[in-house]
C-alpha cells in the first residue's frame, strides 16, 4: 500500500490554491487535514524542493509557483514519494537456476510497464481538475 503522502499533499495544494491571497499557516492546514503541523511542514518542504510552491521561513503561508492547471498529480507524487520503483523484487535469486537467473530482468519489464500505466493516469490529472471536482462535490 502506497503511503498517504500524495493524498495529504494534494489536500495541501488544494487548500492553498482555493485561498488565494490568504496566508495559511501549517497549523491551519493541519486542522483541515487532521494531522500534526510538522507533517504539513515536512511535505511543504518536499513540494518546495520540487518547485511547486514557495515559502519564507518564519513567514506564514505558502504560494504556488505554477498555475493549478500546470501541476499534475504525477509531479506531486514524484515530489513526495522517495521510492522510484513501485514493485519490490526478492533479491539474489539463485543464478544457478535458469528461472532464478532471469526472473528479475523479466519481471522488471512488466513492473515498469505497470508503473508507467499508473503514472500516466496521475499525469493527466491536474490540481485544477481536483479543485473543480472538489467544488462540484460541495
The interface partner of residue 59, options being its own copies, DNA, none and the CB cut-off 5 to 8 Å by kind, is DNA
The interface partner of residue 122, options being DNA, its own copies, none and the CB cut-off 5 to 8 Å by kind, is its own copies
> Which region among 34-42, 65-73, 95-103, 127-135 touches DNA (by CB under 7 A)?
34-42
* Centroid of chain to Cα 88: 19
Helices 127-137 and 5-17: crossing angle in degrees, nearest 10, is 80
Cell for 44? 511543504
Q: Are 93 and 100 in contact (CB under 8 A)?
A: yes
Q: Are 15 and 24 in contact (CB under 8 A)?
A: yes
Cell for 118? 499508473
* Centroid of chain to Cα 133: 18
Cell for 66? 505554477
> Which is nearer to its own copies, 34 or 58 (by Cβ)?
34
State which of positions 48-67 bind its own copies (CB under 8 A).
Answer: none
H or E element at residue 51: none
Minimum distance, C-beta of residue 49 to its own copies, in the bound complex (Å): 21
> Which region among 49-57, 62-70, 87-95 touches its own copies (by CB under 8 A)?
87-95
Binding mask 11-50 for its own copies (x = CB under 8 A): x--xx--x------------xxxxx---------------
Binding site for its own copies (CB under 8 A): 1-4, 6-8, 10-11, 14-15, 18, 31-35, 73, 83, 85-94, 97-103, 105-107, 109-111, 113-115, 117-118, 120-122, 125, 130, 133-134, 137-138
Amino acid at each position: 500500500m502506497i503511503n498517504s503522502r500524495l493524498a495529504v499533499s494534494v489536500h495541501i495544494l488544494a487548500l492553498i490554491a482555493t485561498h488565494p491571497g490568504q496566508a495559511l499557516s501549517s497549523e491551519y492546514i493541519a486542522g483541515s487535514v487532521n494531522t500534526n503541523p510538522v507533517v504539513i511542514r515536512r511535505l511543504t518542504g518536499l513540494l518546495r524542493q520540487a518547485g511547486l510552491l514557495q515559502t519564507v521561513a518564519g513567514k506564514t503561508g505558502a504560494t504556488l509557483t505554477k498555475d493549478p492547471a500546470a501541476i499534475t498529480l504525477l509531479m506531486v507524487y514524484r515530489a513526495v514519494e522517495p521510492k522510484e520503483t513501485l514493485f519490490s523484487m526478492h533479491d539474489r535469486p539463485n543464478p544457478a537456476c535458469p528461472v532464478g537467473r532471469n526472473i528479475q530482468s523479466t519481471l522488471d519489464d512488466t513492473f515498469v510497464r505497470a508503473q508507467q500505466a499508473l503514472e500516466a493516469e496521475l499525469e493527466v490529472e491536474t490540481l485544477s481538475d481536483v479543485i473543480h471536482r472538489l467544488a462540484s462535490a460541495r
